[in-house]
């Protein structure tokens, strides 16, 4: 039932309180009722502490490196990586975004062999890495949206703008809608609007007028709705969340250490996956964060009690 509940939450259902908790979790929750670390004292310590961005910096380096690899391969014509993040060849091996490939197949009413090979290769790769790691470790739009989010947060703190959240189920509806449009009209509308492909091609081949659309999206996220595209629209993120649901790599939550101060949820792009950190919510003493997690590491960096960490199942923490 855990995986079924994770899928339902990923598709837009609000996280539910666990109906059953393990004995170990009940014991820990019992010890924490009415006691534990004083939250105000902890928050004061957090405010005065130096910010650590270990995993964020590693992720930014990997993300920039991946996109730079495409650019340098094209500029110097070394043919190491050809194409863009939507569809490419790495050392001659076909690679293609899964959802984009699905739309192309629906629109053409035909499934090219190279498209199948590329999509399956990418499915295996990101299926092993897990969750929506593609979003935070490879997607160029995620990086610029993260910078826009920093500006949005500062403006919200000063009362200049306000965040306007939408229902997360919109993303699921759009996933189906884009697919139906491709099947019925033969046109892949999403590929025209997709900021990932637009930015990837701009970085490799040079800017185009399509960047105006990307700038409009970023402006909307800065002044109106925090991380709107990634949270409420992008079907690619939803697709990779499903593909990576059973990955051995992920973020683990340790109930015993948690002070429930909520710093992790403040920085999380998809805070519903961290509902388990709310006092009394965790069903076990150790809980895997759900597949909608982007594996960005912001919660791991900011957690003052180290109750969140990367792990590989069967091997322990990932350093």
Both tokens of 34, joined, read: 């009415």
78 — pLDDT class (breaks 50, 70, 90): confident
**Cβ-based neighbours of 77, under 8 Å, separated by 6 or more:** none
Are 136 and 295 spatial neighbours (Cβ–Cβ below 8 Å)? Answer: yes
Among 268, 258, 273, residue whose Cα is nearest residue 307: 258
What's the angle, vertex CA 298, arms to CA 292 and CA 302, rounded to 5?
A: 130
- pLDDT score, position 32: 73
CB neighbours of residue 197 within 10 Å:
22
Contacts of 121 (CB under 8 A, 6+ apart): 93, 94, 95, 96
Please tell me the pTM assigned to this model.
Answer: 0.91
CA distance 62 to 194: 22
Model pLDDT for residues 219-259, shown as the tens digit of each residue: 999 999 999 999 999 999 999 999 998 889 999 999 998 98
Q: Phi and psi at residue 291, in whole multiples of 5°?
A: -70, -15
Summarize pLDDT for 118-161 with one digit per residue, the tens: 999 999 999 888 779 999 999 999 999 999 999 999 999 999 99
Expressed in angstroms, the distance from the first to the final Cα of the chain is: 30
Distance from C-alpha of 64 to C-alpha of 84, rounded to nearest angstrom:
14
Q: How confident is the model at residue 175 (pLDDT cuts 50, 70, 90)?
A: very high
Q: What is the pLDDT of residues 186-220, one digit of tens each?
A: 999 999 999 999 999 999 999 999 999 999 999 99
pLDDT over threshold 70, residue 179: yes
pLDDT tens digits for 38-55? 666 666 666 666 778 999
Q: What is the pLDDT of residue 315?
A: 67
Distance in angstroms (rounded) separating the CA atoms of residues 96 and 119? 5
pLDDT (average), residues 183-187: 95
Q: Is the pLDDT of residue 178 over 70?
A: yes
pLDDT at 185: 95
CB distance 104 to 267 below 8 Å: no
Phi, psi dihedrals of residue 238, rounded to the nearest 5°: -60, -40
């Amino acid at each position: 039932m855990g995986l079924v509940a994770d899928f339902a939450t990923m598709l837009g259902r609000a996280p539910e309180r666990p109906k059953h908790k393990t004995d170990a979790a009940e014991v820990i929750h019992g010890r924490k009722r009415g006691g534990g670390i004083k939250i105000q004292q902890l928050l004061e310590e957090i405010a005065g502490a130096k910010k650590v961005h270990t995993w964020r910096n590693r992720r930014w380096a990997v993300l920039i490196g991946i996109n730079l690899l495409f650019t340098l391969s094209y500029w110097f014509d070394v043919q190491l990586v050809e194409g863009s993040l939507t569809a490419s060849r790495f050392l001659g091996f076909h690679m293609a975004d899964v959802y984009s490939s699905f739309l192309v197949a629906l629109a053409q009413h035909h499934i090219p062999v190279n498209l199948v090979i590329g999509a399956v290769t990418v499915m295996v790769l990101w299926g092993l890495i897990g969750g929506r790691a593609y979003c935070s470790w490879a997607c160029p739009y995620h990086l610029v949206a993260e910078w826009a989010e920093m500006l949005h947060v500062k403006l919200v703190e000063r009362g200049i703008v306000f965040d306007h959240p939408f229902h997360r189920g919109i993303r699921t509806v759009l996933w189906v809608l884009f697919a139906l449009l491709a099947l019925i009209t033969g046109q892949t509308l999403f590929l025209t609007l997709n900021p990932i492909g637009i930015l990837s091609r701009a970085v490799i081949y040079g800017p185009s007028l399509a960047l105006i659309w990307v700038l409009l999206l970023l402006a909307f996220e800065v002044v109106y709705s925090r991380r709107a595209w990634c949270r409420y629209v992008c079907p690619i993120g939803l697709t990779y969340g499903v593909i990576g649901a059973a990955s051995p790599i992920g973020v683990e939550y340790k109930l015993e250490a948690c002070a429930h101060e909520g710093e992790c949820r403040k920085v999380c792009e998809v805070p519903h996956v961290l509902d388990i950190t709310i006092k009394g919510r965790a069903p076990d003493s150790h809980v895997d964060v759900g597949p909608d997690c982007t594996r960005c590491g912001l919660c791991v960096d900011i957690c003052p009690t180290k109750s969140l960490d990367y792990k590989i199942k069967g091997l322990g923490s990932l350093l």
